[in-house]
Amino acid sequence: MTPGSTLANPLHARTIWISDLHLGYRDCKADYLLEFLDRIRCETLYLVGDVIDLWALKKRFCWPAQHYQVLLKLYELADKGVRVIYVPGNHDEPLRHFCGDQFGAIEVALEHEYVSADGKRWLVMHGDAMDAHINLSWVTRFCGDIAYDALLFINRWANRWRKLTGRPYFSLAGLIKSNVKGAQKAIETYQNEAMDEARRRGYDGVICGHIHAAALLEQNGIRYANTGDWVESCSALLEDHQGHLRLLHYSDQLHWQAEQAPSASAEGRVAKAA
């Protein structure tokens, strides 16, 4: 990372969505997140829940300077005129009491309707309401228990080793998860439930987070976008001025994830300067 590169290569978008930052949790990738927030130039920024991990803070207080800097950066963006909308999740659930209010220049909402540049109507929600539909919740099995902590522990040490040997960040946790059958099944159930919710309520698509599985797909005329997270995949959803959505994985390298068909994925890499 070279200082100044953030200014030299801004990331322009109409709207950007990020979720599951988990500030206050030791595996939050705050360094990549800070660099990403420095580079973005957008009109609207959505924080789609689990921004502050109150569960983790309750278990073990962890608040490095970088986590505080992320909050400051979000306020700075709002002060500079970016419309920042915060949709709290389950890990920052107490903040749902403030829905309809403002935290300074940041708006808080339980969920939000977004109209993209191409006129499509999107339901923006964190997504934990879908947990009720998942049998043997993957979230319970992975996201709040020892298995997930262990996965992130391995991820952390694997990446320290990669860094020492000069290799870029890689989500080992994501790779393991994508090969666990139960996790894949739960992710599909979650996606289907989220799309059903959008369909029932007359939306063209849904934008959510929660399950730490970034995706962009379309099924039976309903679109699904999941912003991913900043504890393993370091991902964000960006809309250009034509209304086209793209997923970006941001770590040592920029990696744009192309739109996925329901059962297949196509990915392309671009250099960091892109």
Residues engaged in binding Mn ion (CB under 5 A): 50, 89-90, 210
Distance CA 64, CA 217 (A): 36
Q: Which of 42, 33, 34, 32 is nearest to 11 (CA)?
A: 42
Radius of gyration in angstroms for the set of CA atoms belonging to the chain, rounded to a whole number: 17
Considering the complex, state which of residue 90 and residue 116 has its C-beta at the smaller distance from Mn ion: 90
Considering the complex, state which of residue 19 and residue 116 has its C-beta at the smaller distance from Mn ion: 19
Minimal distance, residue 10 CB to Mn ion, in Å? 29
Distance CA 257, CA 218 (A): 15
Torsion of CA 128, 130, 131, 133, to 10 degrees: 170
Minimal distance, residue 229 CB to Mn ion, in Å? 9
Minimal distance, residue 4 CB to Mn ion, in Å? 35
Considering the complex, state which of residue 21 and residue 195 has its C-beta at the smaller distance from Mn ion: 21
Pinpoint the alpha helices (H) of 11-145.
Answer: 30-39, 54-59, 65-79, 138
- 89: alpha, beta or left? (left if phi > 0; alpha if psi -120 to 50): beta
Considering the complex, state which of residue 42 and residue 54 has its C-beta at the smaller distance from Mn ion: 54
Minimal distance, residue 39 CB to Mn ion, in Å? 25
Q: Which of 258, 249, 261 is nearest to 212 (CA)?
A: 249
Minimal distance, residue 131 CB to Mn ion, in Å? 9
Minimal distance, residue 52 CB to Mn ion, in Å? 12
With b for 16 or more beta-carbon neighbours within 10 A and e for fewer, the 162-190 pattern comes to eeeeeeebbbbbbeebeebeebeebbebb
Residue 258: DSSP 8-state: P
Considering the complex, state which of residue 71 and residue 129 has its C-beta at the smaller distance from Mn ion: 129
Considering the complex, state which of residue 50 and residue 239 has its C-beta at the smaller distance from Mn ion: 50
Sign of the alpha-carbon torsion through 28, 52, 36, 145: positive
Considering the complex, state which of residue 16 and residue 21 has its C-beta at the smaller distance from Mn ion: 21
18, two tokens: 């990020």
Q: Give whole-number Cα distances, 253 to 32, 39, 99, 228, in Å.
A: 10, 14, 36, 17
Minimal distance, residue 138 CB to Mn ion, in Å? 12
Minimal distance, residue 190 CB to Mn ion, in Å? 11
100, two tokens: 């309809």
Considering the complex, state which of residue 35 and residue 50 has its C-beta at the smaller distance from Mn ion: 50
